[in-house]
Structure 1
Amino acid sequence: MKLLSLLHRWTGGIVGILLAVTGLSGTVLLWEDSWIMLDGAHDPALADPVAMGRAIKVARETAPGLSRVTFAGDEIGLHQAVYSDGSGAYIMQEGTVVDRWSGMWERPELWLFDLHHYLFLGETGKTITGVLGILLLAFTISGTILWWRTRKTFRFRLWPPRYTASAIVRHHRDLGVVASPLLIVAAATGTLMIFPAVSGFVLSPLGEAHQKPALPAELAPVGPATDWQSVMRNAQAVFPSAAPRRLMLPSKPGEPIAIRFRQDFEWTPNGRSYVWIAPDSAAVVGMDDPAKAGAVSAISETFYPIHAAKVGGIVWRLAMTFAGLALVLLGLLASWSFWRGQIGKPAGRRRVAQRPRRAVGQS
């Protein structure tokens, strides 16, 4: 038990601040739809292929190198255009550009997303956040084991009563055990999203992972002749009752246009129903229906909406908000008290070396 306590304290002291950063950034992102206050941000989303085709044309005319357009939805009533150079724009559903940015630092929701997922370190940071998720799982399990010995002194507090080492430790244990079920859910879903190989291994008893259909690779490129209204109209005909969520332009010459839809049974906000369209003729050249994808795909699809509280309504969003804020307190106070104790040891607990006693008769 002493070894478990030692590992828990030292590892928490080292990575506690990083866990607090991911917890705080994730909590703010949970309420993203509430603090984006641009014109049209709270307009109801309209699934009109004609209006969407017009908005795509506006996005292409606004700047070169359009990469994708995320359509207005339940969270925000604006289309978001993203360009290959990292710039972007918000476009009202009737086609007016309401905001432009040249990089993520000009929009808080963009750099917060990058901080939460990548720690501003790209793919390396993504791997680090995955490791942090694994460590958080280990902390919740080991913390619950350590708490069990002191369960009779349990007292739930949102804040420690005093800033002494013992008070902070008791607060840490009691808050941690209350938040541990939610922290386990957040850590597990986040880690499984970052490490799909782990997810595939965990879910392998349920079947094989779903494979995307083969697509043509020698189509005519997107150009002035591309009829965006026909593109949206033909894609919508594949999933008539689904909501169009995102259009992705080909990353390589010859590839089709990809459009994501969200069907009623899907939890993921942007859906996983795909339609691929030929840029020149607007003909459908492929489709992928998650209703036919099997159990592994259905379970994997729930990781993000559970993690980001995109399902469960206000109750689950408040629960994950509590988990995020608890992680901030657990991480910051654990690191602060740990390093304060380590730095204070040499001055406060310095032992005076004693000279060995001489044997009787020695000079």
Structure 2
Amino acid sequence: MKTLDLLHRWIGGLIGLVLAVLGFSGALLVHKDAWVILPHASDAQVQETAAIAATVERIMADPTTRPEMITFAGRNFGLNRLRFANGSGAYTDQAGDLVTRWSSQWERPELWLFDLHHHLFAGDTGETVIGIAAIAGLFFVISGVILWTRTRKTFEFRILPKRVSRPAILRHHRDLGVVAAPLLTLALLTGSILVFRPVAALILGPAAPAQIDASLKPPSHPHVPLAAKHDWRGLIVEARAHFPDAEIRSLSLPRQGSGLITLRMKRPDEWLPNGRTTLWFAADDGRLVKARDASRLSQIVMIYNVLYPLHAAKVGGLSYRLLMTFVGLALSLLGTLSVWSFWFARKSVSGPVPQLAKVQH
């Protein structure tokens, strides 16, 4: 037990701040659709085939200004988001009229906050650090619950410590941690599976990584240039004909040597915000190359596809978002105070307090 306590304290002191950043940024991102305040952001979602086709035609009309990706308005956010190849972006209303534009992510708090939470502003390296932190967080939860059993009779739930002292902070840390443990486990486990394929293999089975990668892989197709004039309306109409019950969620132009236009749709039984029902069209003539129905994916992949919605509170409505907000704030508080108590508060109690000598008169 002493060794477990030592590991818990030292690893927490080293990585607690990363977990605190992830928790706080995650708590904010859960409510992103509510705090991005722009004209038409609260408009009702439009999913009529003709309306979306007209909007796509308008946005993609000029080859010199067309974006590389359109993410269409959702049920909780009424703006289309455009992403351009140079890293800039824009929001339009659902008719295609420009609402706002930015030249880099630093001009939009929801974008750099997303990058912070998913990559720590460090790309693939940051994502790896986040995955390691999530695995370490799972160790904290398990070891913390075990260590809490020694002091369970003194349990007292508090949002904040009673005093800003090391003993009060340690007691608060134990009791808050055990209350948040179930949802912390969910958040950290889903996060680690999404980052690391070996964790997916451990939890979902040895076949999981190969099946997941296959479900994300586009069909083989020769690289062909994107036609200057494209039948965007026909593309939207054909997609809706294949999956009449599905929402049209995003449209992406060919990237990284691909000769395919990618259209993602979300069927009613899918939890992912943008779905995994995908159609690929040849970039030169618009011919449908392949359509992949998410409902026909393997059971392992379907389980994998619900992890992100659970992690990001994209299902369950306001009540579940509030629960995940609590978890994010709890993780932020646990991480911050553990680092403070480990590196700073212990200095004030590291040795005996000397007694003052009596003053001689």
- Secondary structure of 2:274's counterpart equals coil
Matches within 5 A, 1:54-93: 54-60=54-60, 61=62, 64=65, 66-93=67-94
Return the TM-score normalized by structure 1.
0.91
Contact kept in structure 2, 1:147 and 1:173, CA below 8 Å:
yes
Q: Distance in 2 between matches of 1:62 and 1:35?
A: 33
Residues 117-160 of structure 1: CA deviation (Å, up to 9, x unaligned) = 11111110000000010011000000000100100000100011
Worse overlay, 71-80 or 103-112: 71-80
Q: Which has the larger radius of gyration?
A: 1
1:148 aligned partner:
149
Q: Mean alpha-carbon deviation: is it higher for 206-215 or for 161-170?
A: 206-215
Q: Distance in 2 between matches of 1:51 and 1:63?
A: 23
Residues 223-280 of structure 1 deviation map (CA, whole Å, 9 limit, x = unaligned): 3320111111111111111001111111145612110100011010000000111234
Identity %: 44
How far has the Cα of 1:180 moved from its partner? 0.6
Match of 1:315 among 314, 319, 340: 319
CA 1:199 to 1:290, structure 2 compared with 1: closer, same or farther past 3 Å? same
Alpha-carbon distance between aligned partners in 2 of 1:234 and 1:23, rounded to the nearest angstrom: 42
CA distance in 2 between counterparts of 1:16 and 1:5 reads 15
Unpaired runs of at least 5, structure 2: 355-361
Deviation at 1:284, TM superposition (A): 1.5
> Per the alignment, in what secondary structure is the counterpart of residue 158 of structure 1?
coil
8 Å contact kept, 1:63–1:83? no
Shift of 1:67: 2.0
Q: SS of 2:161's equivalent?
A: coil
State the AA in 1 paired with 2:205: S
1:169 aligns with 2:170: yes
For the pair 1:296 / 2:300, whether they are aligned, the reply is: yes
Deviations 1:65-92 (A, max 9, x none): 7221111111211110111211001011
Partner Cα distance (2:153, 2:333) in 1:
23
Q: Is 1:102 matched with 2:106?
A: no
Letter in structure 1 aligned against 2:8: H
Q: Given the alignment, which residue of 334, 341, 358 partners 2:338?
A: 334
Match of 1:265 among 265, 269, 280: 269
**TM-score normalized by structure 2?**
0.91
1:220 and 1:276 mapped to 2: Cα distance? 13
Contact 2:63 2:228 in 1 (8 A): no
Amino acid at match of 1:13: G
Alignment of 1:276-295 (within 5 A): 276-295=280-299
Sort the Cα spacing of 1:298 and 1:123 in 2 relative to 1 into closer, same or farther, 3 A.
Answer: same
Given that residues 226 and 259 in structure 2 are in contact (C-alpha distance below 8 angstroms), is that contact kept between their aligned partners in structure 1? no
Distance in structure 2 (CA, Å) of the matches to 1:177 and 1:199: 25
Q: Aligned equivalents of 2:66 and 2:11: distance in 1? A: 44
- 1:196-275 alignment runs, 5 A limit: 196-204=197-205, 209=211, 211-212=214-215, 215-218=219-222, 220-253=224-257, 255-275=259-279
**Alpha-carbon offset, residue 337 of structure 1:** 1.4
Deviation, 1:58, is: 4.2
Query: Structure 2 counterpart of 1:39, which letter?
Result: P
Deviates more, 1:294-303 or 1:8-17: 8-17
**SS of the residue aligned with 1:66?**
coil
Residue aligned with 1:209, SS: helix
**Distance in 2 (alpha carbons) for counterparts of 1:168 and 1:276:** 55
Question: Runs of 5+ in structure 1 lacking a partner?
Answer: 352-363
Q: What is the count of residue pairs matched by the alignment?
A: 350
Q: What is the rounded CA distance, in whole Å, between the counterparts of 2:67 and 2:24 in structure 1? A: 31
CA contact (8 A) 1:105 1:111 kept: yes
Aligned 8 A contact 2:59 2:66 in 1: no
Counterpart of 1:247 in 2: which secondary structure?
A: strand
Give the 3-state SS of the residue equivalent to 2:245 in structure 1: coil
Which residue in the other structure is 2:129 paired with?
128
The whole-number CA distance in structure 2 between the counterparts of 1:253 and 1:169 is: 54
Q: Deviations over 1:319-352 (max 9, x none)?
A: 1111011111111111111111344466x4599x
Cα distance in 2, alignment partners of residues 144 and 216 from structure 1: 49
Q: Could you say which residue in structure 1 is the equivalent of 2:46? A: 46
Q: Which amino acid aligns with 1:328?
A: S
Secondary structure of 1:22's aligned partner: helix
Q: Is the 8 A contact 1:200 1:209 kept in 2?
A: no
Alignment RMSD (CA, Å): 2.1
**2:358 matched to which residue of 1?**
none
Output one character per residue of 1:13-51: Cα deviation in whole Å (capped at 9) or x when no partner: 121111111100000000001111111111111113333
Query: Partners in 2 of 1:63 and 1:136 — Cα distance?
Result: 47
